[in-house]
Structure 1
Amino acid sequence: MSTIKELYAYRQMIISLVKKDLRGRYKGSVLGFMWTFINPLLQLIVYSIVFGYLFRDSENPIERYYLHLFVALIPWIFFSSSLTVGSASIVAHKELVKKIYFPRMVIPISYVTSCFVNMLLCFIVVFAVIIVTGAGFNFLALLTLPVIMMVEYIFALGMAMLTSAVTVYFRDLEHILSIVSMAWMYLTPVVYSKQAVVPEKYHHIYDLNPMTPIIECYRTVLYNKQVPDLSTLLLAAGLGVFFLIIGALVFNRLQRHFAEEL
């Protein structure tokens, strides 16, 4: 409770760091903030060509594959960024950590929050694609979207807290996580359908990956236009809370010697 109270007292610092990260993300580039939208669109084009045309299943093609991919790719980019770049967030702010006192947990929280805001902005493009292509919405299903987003945010924040604290002592973790993130993506139904690729008898094992039910719920709402079974999110939510608690405990224990290690 003392940690929560302290973080609340420093809420303005969190907001300031979020704004600073969003403003400085593409500072100096010609297109600037437009890269927020261009980057996921370029990834969509590449994955659509590779998996939608070159490696597509000719017997059971996925209808509107670009949309099937896009509604999963945007949430995955948020989680991947939180995991990989978020792991180096303390190291990136080492001068700030060494000079003044503030709750160090502010740094991973602000970074994951800025990634989350970036994802929300990217969903503007997702909604625009859905409207332009005439795919349509189920407005009742859309009401469940904030719940899905919050579950993913909690899980991403827990992972960022854990990895950012460990990276201060073990710098190689930042590079290891880049490889882990790539492998994790292909173990999550982002570029493919779980039902089409994974045998049904292995689904319960596959769902132990917390990102699987999260991605599937996004797809159910925005691609299938159905209200998802939110009970499928219970495991992901439970794991998210677990990693958030573990991440906070590890972070609080390791932060005592951040200044010396940095």
Structure 2
Amino acid sequence: MIKQGCAFVYARLVELWKYREMLWSMILSELRTRYRGSFLGFLWTFINPLLTLMVYTFIFSRIMKVTMPHYALFMFIGLLAWNLFATGIQSSASVIVRQGSLVKKIYFPREILPLSVVGGSVINYLLSLVILVPFLFINGYYPTVNWLYVPLILLMEMIFTVGLALLLSSLTVYLRDIEHMLGIFLMLWFYLTPVIYSLKILSPGIAQMFKLNPMSDVVLSFQSTLYYNESPHWKLFLYGYGISVVVLIFGWWLFTRLNRRFAEEV
């Protein structure tokens, strides 16, 4: 059974690699679609995080006078990580339905559709670092060995996001209400993730419960590395990777079970 499963996964990965040019083309198309019709176009990739950072800095340092040092930076680090996840999930949920005509006309690995959406979100995140890194320098944060954890944390988030994207995109083909419910669910999830607050304000018991949330592990790891200049807590790090891999395996398994009838349902 395990041998057959490994052979299947290998075969799917080989097929996806053969279609890598199509995947890259769809990622670029996804990015173009986000800013289609706007005057500034792709520049919004940089303008959005920059404006967000300026607004948060003004509100929390000048108006609310939050005592936490460099609070705008703290929140911005978490917000960029959250936006990668939320944008990838929300857009990928309906991607197969949106691309129904393509699904019906030609054969290609259907995984490419949710992967292209998540890929677009990852590129947006990487481009947002053009804003984050100078802001770190301005606030006196300089590269240390702990910054080497950033690619590993990003990989963990990508694995988790792809797993959920595969799961939700396949289910939405059959249950269209998921697309409408997802916005409310993500809003609740956002407040259960320590993006705009520190877990230190919670009691130890409640904080431990919040750490069961995989996105808490991602955000906390980014904050540890970039804000606190520490290495991520290894137990939290391993737990986050474990959950992410399980979600990816389950999401991919469900996707392969349901994709046989996509062309009939979209």
Alignment TM-score > 0.5, same fold: yes
Q: CA RMSD of the aligned region, Å?
A: 1.8
> Contact (CA 8 Å) 1:138, 1:221: kept in 2 or not?
no
Match of 2:32 among 23, 30, 52: 23
> Contact (CA 8 Å) 2:49, 2:131: kept in 1 or not?
no
Paired position in structure 2 for 1:7: 16
Paired position in structure 2 for 1:260: 264
> Contact (CA 8 Å) 2:60, 2:72: kept in 1 or not?
no
> Distance between the aligned counterparts of 1:39 and 1:4, measured in 2?
35
Paired position in structure 2 for 1:66: 72
- Percent of counterpart pairs with the same letter? 39
Aligned ranges for residues 1-262 of structure 1 at < 5 Å? 1-47=10-56, 61-131=67-137, 133-196=138-201, 198-262=202-266
> Distance between the aligned counterparts of 1:159 and 1:56, measured in 2?
38
Once the two structures are TM-superposed, the CA of residue 4 in structure 1 deviates from its matched residue by 1.6
Once the two structures are TM-superposed, the CA of residue 139 in structure 1 deviates from its matched residue by 2.0
Once the two structures are TM-superposed, the CA of residue 52 in structure 1 deviates from its matched residue by 6.0
> Distance between the aligned counterparts of 1:7 and 1:15, measured in 2?
11
| 1:77 maps to amino acid | N
> Distance between the aligned counterparts of 1:250 and 1:154, measured in 2?
16
Change over 3 Å in CA distance of 1:54–1:242 after alignment to 2: farther
Once the two structures are TM-superposed, the CA of residue 241 in structure 1 deviates from its matched residue by 0.6
> Distance between the aligned counterparts of 1:102 and 1:10, measured in 2?
8
Change over 3 Å in CA distance of 1:169–1:53 after alignment to 2: farther
> Distance between the aligned counterparts of 1:134 and 1:237, measured in 2?
30
> Distance between the aligned counterparts of 1:88 and 1:46, measured in 2?
31
1:29-65 CA deviation, whole Å, 9 max, x = no partner?
A: 11111111222334445555666677676xxx21111
> Distance between the aligned counterparts of 1:80 and 1:52, measured in 2?
27
Which runs of 5 or more residues in structure 1 are unaligned? none
> Distance between the aligned counterparts of 2:251 and 2:180, measured in 1?
19
> Contact (CA 8 Å) 2:23, 2:112: kept in 1 or not?
yes
Other structure's SS at 2:246 match: helix
> Contact (CA 8 Å) 2:84, 2:125: kept in 1 or not?
yes
Which runs of 5 or more residues in structure 2 are unaligned? 1-9
| TM-score, normalization by structure 1 | 0.92
Other structure's SS at 2:94 match: helix
| 1:184 maps to amino acid | W
Change over 3 Å in CA distance of 1:19–1:188 after alignment to 2: same
Once the two structures are TM-superposed, the CA of residue 134 in structure 1 deviates from its matched residue by 3.5
1:127-159 CA deviation, whole Å, 9 max, x = no partner?
A: 01112x232224201111100000000000000
> Distance between the aligned counterparts of 2:183 and 2:113, measured in 1?
20
| TM-score, normalization by structure 2 | 0.91
Change over 3 Å in CA distance of 1:249–1:51 after alignment to 2: farther
Change over 3 Å in CA distance of 1:134–1:53 after alignment to 2: closer
Change over 3 Å in CA distance of 1:48–1:83 after alignment to 2: farther
